[in-house]
Amino acid sequence: MDMLRKKLEEVGEAEDQRPSPSSLIWPLLLGEIDRCQVMPAMEEPTTASVDERGSNKDQGISDDTAHQISTDPWYQVAFVLTTGVNSAYVLGYSGSVMVPLGWVGGTVGLVLAAAISMYANALLARLHETGGKRHIRYRDLAGHIYGKKAYALTWTLQYVNLFMINTGFIILAGQALKAVYVLYRDDGILKLPYCIAIAGFVCAIFAFGIPYLSALRIWLGVSTVLSLIYIIVAFVLSLHDGVNAPQRDYSIPGDHTSKIFSTIGAAATLVFAYNTGMLPEIQATILPPVVKNMEKALWFQFTVGLLPMYAVTFIGYWAYGSSTSAYLLNSANGPVWVKTLANVSAFFQTVVSLHIFASPMYEYLDTRFGSGVGGPFAFHNILFRVIVRGGYLTVNTFVAAFLPFLGDFMSLTGAISTFPLTFVLANHMYLKVKQNKLSTVQKGWHWLNVLGFGAFAVLAFIAGVRLIMVDSQTYHFFADL
């Protein structure tokens, strides 16, 4: 009896020391204690189990962030991707892709580049939950797989990629603004560098008011409408000009050497056209199951989303041949008000697109240097965005005005960062993570991609630098093109 009494007293003491369920509710909700402290231990999800399910609601996130994640349905993410691929850059592909490659090379290149880009992006999307947690930044994923040096290298490549894309967007917006001015006054007073400065200012105003990528929401719909306006106008005007124009010249311009470099540069532009260089950051916004939903968004982008781009690219080259302008609306003839509408639409769509591609930099700055206190529209947070984002876009705008060669920027961006980030790194990361599950043939295929695209990136870089050097000699810094 004494022994039984003693045992009951020990059990009672243990019950008294155990926290009551009600005392644990708020700490759990507020995140002050981990659920593992109050729930039975559970087996950690393995990479294989995550890959099979496509999502894991109990996974952690790779790092803290000041921006929203896991809030957007797959179709909103699909519109983000489609906004990028059908940005006003599409008005340049007739001149920057089709003219250097011709009908056969350009058509095959566009289709082939779409196929390999879809494949590479799908590989990258499937790595989003590697190690049992979501990697919401490209550099986080690379750092998890390779270590700190790869984290820094990936961040550098991605920063260069996004900086150059944003610089190109500002050039593009400046060209659209100047095209509007020339329609009404051709006195040369409003030069391209001034238009670029105005474009940079408008982009900054927009950046101050949209705190993070998920907050675009209604603006994605606005962007889609704007895209359809300038694409339809460019298509109809080009079709009209093509029907009424004399026989066009579709021969590839330039001597033998320049044709080689132009072909390589056009291939880099093809890669640039389809890829964002920030897929993990976009995927971070999507609702679970993150892999399955991201694949839906990618299929939408590379099917329905490509039709407008193909339409305007092919019709522009058909209408004007090898004389197609680097900005298609400059080649098109039509009513002034129609061309004004198209150029204004291109200008404002570019503002939205730039915000998408600048969001990884904004997220880094907000997370690293922001106060983290108050809502996104608290006065001190708005002031922070004005100072920091305004400074970033000021540098972008200066570079855009200094070197306003849009086609060259597309080629060089594809070479420096899009090739390494989208094709080389994605294939090698997939190879490293899945190596025990891949056959010898599959491993050989991924190594072929790594080495082949790595070599092509070097060639494309050389071609891109050469294009800028040639244009710099032909024109001058702060040129009024």
Could you tell me the mean pLDDT of each successive run of 10 residues in the chain, 481 residues long? 48 43 35 36 33 37 64 89 89 92 95 94 91 86 89 86 87 92 88 93 94 84 92 96 89 86 84 84 90 95 94 96 90 94 95 90 87 82 92 93 70 73 89 89 93 88 77 68 66
**CA quadruple 178, 183, 187, 189: dihedral, nearest 10:** -20
pLDDT of residue 132: 83
Q: Give backbone dihedrals phi and psi of 134, rounded to 5 degrees, phi first.
A: -80, 135
Please report how the helices 336-369 and 148-184 are oriented relative to each other, as an axis angle in degrees rounded to 10: 150
CA distances from 245 to 235, 318, 327 (A): 15, 11, 19
Q: Which string of DSSP letters, residue by residue, matches 155-195? A: HHHHHHHHHHHHHHHHHHHHHHHHHHHHHH--SS-S-HHHH
Residues listed for the chain: 481
3-state class percentages of the chain: helix first, strand second, coil last, to nearest 5: 75, 0, 20
CA distances from 69 to 74, 220, 358 (A): 13, 17, 16
Determine the Cα–Cα distance for residues 226 and 67; give it in Å rounded to an integer.
26
CA distances from 77 to 74, 271, 471 (A): 5, 20, 37
Which residues are 134's β-sheet partners?
61
pLDDT of residue 168: 86
Determine the Cα–Cα distance for residues 422 and 48; give it in Å rounded to an integer.
23
Residue 286 three-state SS: strand
Determine the Cα–Cα distance for residues 334 and 117; give it in Å rounded to an integer.
36
Determine the Cα–Cα distance for residues 211 and 66; give it in Å rounded to an integer.
10
Pair 284, 137: CB distance under 8 Å: yes
- DSSP H/E element including 430: helix 426-434
Pair 138, 152: CB distance under 8 Å: no
Please report how the helices 256-274 and 406-413 are oriented relative to each other, as an axis angle in degrees rounded to 10: 70
- DSSP H/E element including 299: helix 290-301
Determine the Cα–Cα distance for residues 424 and 301; give it in Å rounded to an integer.
21
- DSSP H/E element including 345: helix 336-369
What is the bridge-based pairing of β-strands 133-134 and 60-61? parallel
Please report how the helices 256-274 and 99-126 are oriented relative to each other, as an axis angle in degrees rounded to 10: 30
Return the amino acid letter for 395: V
Pair 463, 267: CB distance under 8 Å: no
Return the amino acid letter for 438: L
pLDDT of residue 340: 96
Among 220, 238, 257, residue whose Cα is nearest residue 351: 220
Determine the Cα–Cα distance for residues 385 and 1; give it in Å rounded to an integer.
73
pLDDT of residue 475: 65
